[in-house]
């Protein structure tokens, strides 16, 4: 029975009592009024003196777990018989909602772990607290607006057999390009300056010269690898029955089980190749052609890898620039001292001509072609694959359900 129904019943009883002058009915009316007042005051204090704190992961990765811990503290003397904590987090599949009982001057806490099934930027929270009186006549809700942002990186697959495109490094002296990072290219020593990292100190030179000396480094002359991630909206395709037709066998731990579109495959391929390049000592740059055109300069550092992951976390296949146009516009970045890897599902053959023009300048290139027909039979990429076979560009054909490590390997 709600408070409104009880109030209507009291009014009706009051009307009947005025006509019949029945004393027990007057007592029942008085009890109902007292009950309304008590339960109203009870409900008003049921969410008072309540404080909530939240400690959650701010980074995650597709296929991995993120943790979320909520603490509810009752700072009042009276206990809260029931308190509904309703979580409104935007992370798919995550729910920390719970009904708790918190005694006076105590706290209760619980943790939730959720597996990340989607890359992107999400929030833990906000939360709303709801409670009331023991009879359920009144209900009161209090929003808690504090939120925690969580960035979910794309999945990354180990590619132990992936062969990077070879490039030709020009002869002659290595260009004098000093770097703040430690590299194998030690070019000299100098006097220590306040602020220099201690791991750059040359202790042998320091002992010999009786003063602190630090090493100077040049950038390693290993060639850079550029990733072109084609995010043209026209060539995006989804596997709508993806849980039923995943072709990765019975391996429930396979990263590919989370990938249900050409967009997700392309992003995962880009992240995986970037890590493979950096592990092999190559600098990595990336161009992503979504609606927000993203360019990350080639560099060999952990910072570059984080930049790539952060960019890939939020990109979407919503671009409008054809891949052929991108290759022509960005061709100035590529020379025989760099390598190029194109990741696309585009069935427009014009981009192959643009790529051939680039490779004619002795730029080594590879293509990861994601066949849309394996996601949606209405799309056919056989024409592009046939034309790629007539070029000298190494091509990896990737179909829905394929395990990336098996496809992206030297042949």
Locate 407 and state its tokens. 């496809």
Q: What is the pLDDT of residue 320?
A: 95
**Band (6; pLDDT cuts 50, 70, 90):** confident
User: In sequence order, what are the residues at sequence separation of 6 or more whose Cβ sits closer than 8 angstroms to the Cβ of residue 166?
Assistant: 339, 364
CA distance 83 to 85: 6
pLDDT tens readout for residues 322-336: 999 999 999 999 988
CATH superfamily label, 224-407: von Willebrand factor, type A domain (3.40.50.410)
Helix (H) or strand (E) segment spanning residue 53: strand 50-56
- Mean pLDDT on 316-326: 96
Q: What is the pLDDT of residue 319?
A: 95
- Domain 50-153 CATH (choose: 3.40.190.10, 3.30.465.10, 2.60.40.10, 2.40.50.840): 2.60.40.10
User: Could you tell me which residue, 337 or 222, shows the higher pLDDT?
Assistant: 337
Instruction: DSSP letter for 30, please.
Output: H
Domain ranges in the chain? 3-45, 50-153, 178-218, 224-407
**Band (46; pLDDT cuts 50, 70, 90):** confident
User: Could you tell me which residue, 178 or 272, shows the higher pLDDT?
Assistant: 272
Q: What is the pLDDT of residue 284?
A: 94
Q: What is the pLDDT of residue 174?
A: 40
Residue 141 confidence (pLDDT) above 70: yes
What average pLDDT does the chain have? 86
Task: Give the pTM.
Answer: 0.80
**Band (1; pLDDT cuts 50, 70, 90):** low
Number of H helices, E strands in the chain: 10, 19
- Mean pLDDT on 114-133: 94
Task: Determine the Cα angle at 310 with ends 305 and 314, to 5°.
Answer: 145
DSSP conformation letters of 202-220: -HHHHHHHTS-EEEEEE--
Q: What is the pLDDT of residue 186?
A: 59
CA distance 189 to 211: 12
pLDDT tens readout for residues 216-266: 765 555 678 999 999 999 999 888 665 545 555 555 567 888 899 999 999
Residue 184 confidence (pLDDT) above 80: no
Q: What is the pLDDT of residue 188?
A: 76
**Band (287; pLDDT cuts 50, 70, 90):** very high
Secondary structure, 3-state, 124-137: ECCEEEEEECCCCC
Q: What angle do helix axes 350-359 and 382-389 make, rounded to 10 degrees?
A: 20
- Burial grade of 184 (CB within 10 A; 0-12, 13-18, 19 or more): exposed
Q: Which of 32-41, 199-208, 249-258, 358-367 has the lowest mean pLDDT?
A: 249-258
Residue 312 confidence (pLDDT) above 90: yes
Q: What is the pLDDT of residue 331?
A: 93
Domains 50-153 and 224-407 fall in the same CATH topology: no
Q: What is the pLDDT of residue 172?
A: 39
Q: Are 112 and 94 in contact (CB under 8 A)?
A: yes
């Amino acid at each position: 029975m709600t408070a409104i129904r009880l109030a209507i019943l009291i009014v009706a009883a009051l009307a009947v009592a005025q006509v019949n002058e029945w004393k027990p009915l007057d007592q029942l009316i008085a009890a109902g009024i007292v009950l309304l007042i008590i339960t109203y005051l009870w409900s008003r204090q049921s969410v008072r003196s309540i404080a909530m704190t939240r400690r959650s992961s701010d980074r995650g990765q597709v296929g991995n777990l993120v943790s979320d811990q909520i603490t509810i503290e009752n700072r009042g003397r009276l206990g809260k018989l029931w308190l509904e904590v309703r979580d409104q987090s935007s992370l798919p599949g995550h729910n920390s909602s719970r009904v708790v009982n918190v005694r006076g001057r105590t706290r209760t806490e619980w943790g939730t772990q959720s597996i990340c099934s989607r890359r992107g930027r999400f929030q833990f929270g906000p939360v709303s607290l709801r409670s009331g009186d023991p009879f359920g006549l009144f209900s009161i809700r209090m929003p808690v607006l504090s939120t925690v942002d969580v960035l979910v990186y794309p999945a990354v697959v180990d590619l132990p057999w992936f062969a990077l495109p070879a490039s030709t490094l020009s002869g002659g002296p290595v260009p004098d390009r000093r770097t703040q990072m430690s590299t194998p290219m030690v070019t000299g020593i100098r006097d220590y300056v306040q602020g220099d990292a201690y791991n750059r100190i040359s202790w042998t030179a320091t002992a010999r010269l009786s003063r602190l000396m630090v090493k100077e480094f040049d950038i390693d002359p290993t060639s850079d690898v550029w990733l072109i991630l084609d995010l043209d909206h026209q060539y995006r395709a989804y596997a709508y029955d993806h849980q039923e037709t995943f072709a990765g066998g019975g391996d429930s731990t396979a990263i590919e089980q989370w990938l249900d579109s050409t967009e997700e495959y392309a992003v995962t391929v880009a992240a995986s190749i970037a890590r493979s390049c950096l592990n092999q000592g190559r600098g990595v740059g990336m161009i992503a052609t979504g609606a927000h055109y993203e360019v990350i300069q080639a560099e060999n550092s952990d910072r570059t890898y984080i930049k790539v992951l952060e960019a890939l976390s939020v990109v979407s296949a919503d671009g409008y620039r054809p891949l052929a146009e991108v290759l022509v516009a960005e061709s100035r970045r590529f020379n025989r001292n760099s390598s190029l890897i194109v990741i696309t599902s585009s069935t427009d053959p014009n981009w192959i001509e643009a790529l051939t023009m680039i490779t004619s300048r002795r730029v080594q290139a590879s293509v990861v072609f994601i066949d849309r027909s394996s996601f949606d039979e209405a799309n056919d990429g056989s024409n592009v694959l046939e034309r790629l076979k007539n070029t000298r560009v190494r091509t990896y054909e990737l179909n829905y359900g394929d395990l990336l490590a098996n496809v992206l390997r030297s042949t």
